[in-house]
Structure 1
């Protein structure tokens, strides 16, 4: 296959990802008209229509979807190998894309990334905060962050923090009008602030464990958010009970804005791990970040 064919395929993948010719052209550093011509040339060469175009959006056709699934991972692998070769020079460089929950991004990823970009001016770091179980390969992330027991076995998992505990908390104002829950079942009669998960649109079930007994509780309340910061703000203002990582709630417990309950039902579990595909060759820049994040007791 000629270099032109590979370039055309790479351009098609970018258009398919962006679902927009203007954004794709900007990302590729070419004009929109030149990119449109590239895609038309590729479609003519293959004898297949790869993109369905309307005035508002661009979407892959059935043939386009098949091309993405079969060729996309190979093109991505070539790109990453080229990134490795380009970094075989005196100073590590390149972009590292990471995804994590809001709290893990702020408390763990950002402190390490901040030091790295100050020391190595040619390294760029992108952090995307999300509560979804992101497919890091399909979404072109270099790595993600999750608790250790939730990571697939075909991934490399590096511990980047101590064990975690969740915390149920509410404001003194809230507890002035509501009884203290003694068991997780008591939460069903409380106003709880829910977290909306982005992937399936469901609400996060609160998970508890005590003396080997596990329990998931589907709570209810007037408020639903998709970020921990808004959950905390609503709880401090008396909107109900929240269920968040202990470290995220700790400052509010310390100054008395929140009160913790059901602590005996919130046993520690596997802490945050950085995970990435075992088949992927880490770049020097990524290796530096992994070393900076690695948890050492």
Structure 2
């Protein structure tokens, strides 16, 4: 592969990954017009359109998606190989890219980073907030953080938290003129804050309950739908409805009385957060340090 083809492919991969010429140009340190011309030249050379462009979005064509999925992982492997050369340095260095949910990033990832980053100024970490099951190979992300039950079997998974529990919560003002639900079926009488996640094909997330080996998935209804757990929490605190969130997310608000927890006996523990990454990934010293800082060792 000649140098021009390599640089043009890197430009295309950046646009396909970001779904935006503006964001891709900023990451590559070039102007949007220059980046657009590079991709256009690549399309002309290949004789096929790679990107669909509108005033609002940029998406890969069928040919572009095929190129992205086949070439992207190869460049990611080359980046990993180059990063591995940092083993020859006296101190670990390089950039680690991670995807995580908002809560996991704030409560688990940031405390770990606070312990290692001050000691290793040459390590840089990029955190991408995402509620979907990111294809970390295709997206050139080093690792993801998700509950263990969502991690694919072909990934290496490292536990980084204790077991989790969900919690149904509402504010005192919400319950002022409403009865508290005693069973999941009672939720049909309540205004519930819904969550729409890409991990569920864009469908609304069904609230999951279990008691005495009896499992229930309840599709709740309400006036508001969000795609962010942070907004679910804000909505519950403002009395706009009931929210279904991780226990750790709501614990301080339940403790100080700003939220009331219900149906606790229907919310058993489930697998905690895990850091996951491909088994063939060659770990750099920086990545290895991060894994060890995150690894859950129990109490």
TM-score by length of 1: 0.89
Show the 5 A alignment for 1:83-232: 83-198=83-198, 200-232=201-233
Cα distance in 2 for residues equivalent to 1:287 and 1:58: 35
Residues 229-283 of structure 1, C-alpha deviations (whole Å, 9 max, x = no match): 2222221222221111111111011111111111111001111111111111111
Contact 1:169 1:261 in 2 (8 A): yes
Cα distance in 2 for residues equivalent to 1:247 and 1:262: 16
Shift of 1:120: 1.1
CA root-mean-square deviation: 2.4
Contact 2:168 2:264 in 1 (8 A): yes
Shift of 1:51: 3.7
Shift of 1:176: 2.2
Cα distance in 2 for residues equivalent to 1:67 and 1:261: 50
Aligned length: 296
Cα distance in 2 for residues equivalent to 1:234 and 1:36: 41
Contact 1:196 1:202 in 2 (8 A): yes
Cα distance in 2 for residues equivalent to 1:211 and 1:178: 27
Cα distance in 2 for residues equivalent to 1:88 and 1:140: 23
Please say if 1:272 is aligned against 2:273.
Answer: yes
Cα distance in 2 for residues equivalent to 1:40 and 1:240: 49
Contact 1:48 1:63 in 2 (8 A): no
Please say if 1:48 is aligned against 2:47.
Answer: yes
C-alpha change, 1:89 and 1:238, in structure 2 (3 Å) is: same
Contact 2:17 2:139 in 1 (8 A): no
Cα distance in 1 for residues equivalent to 2:184 and 2:228: 23
Residues 212-238 of structure 1, C-alpha deviations (whole Å, 9 max, x = no match): 111100111122222222222221222
Shift of 1:170: 1.3
Q: Which segment is superposed worse, 179-188 or 224-233?
A: 224-233
Residues 119-159 of structure 1, C-alpha deviations (whole Å, 9 max, x = no match): 21111111122222222222222111111122111000000
Contact 2:158 2:275 in 1 (8 A): yes
Contact 2:73 2:140 in 1 (8 A): no
Gaps of 5+ in 1: none
Q: Secondary structure at the residue paired with 2:257?
A: coil
Match of 1:236 in 2: 237
Q: Which segment is superposed worse, 54-63 or 208-217?
A: 54-63
Q: Which segment is superposed worse, 81-90 or 32-41?
A: 32-41
TM-score by length of 2: 0.89
Shift of 1:167: 0.7
C-alpha change, 1:21 and 1:272, in structure 2 (3 Å) is: closer
Match of 1:291 in 2: 292
Contact 2:76 2:137 in 1 (8 A): no
Shift of 1:34: 5.6
Contact 2:190 2:241 in 1 (8 A): yes
Cα distance in 2 for residues equivalent to 1:32 and 1:238: 44
Contact 1:164 1:271 in 2 (8 A): yes
Contact 2:194 2:222 in 1 (8 A): yes
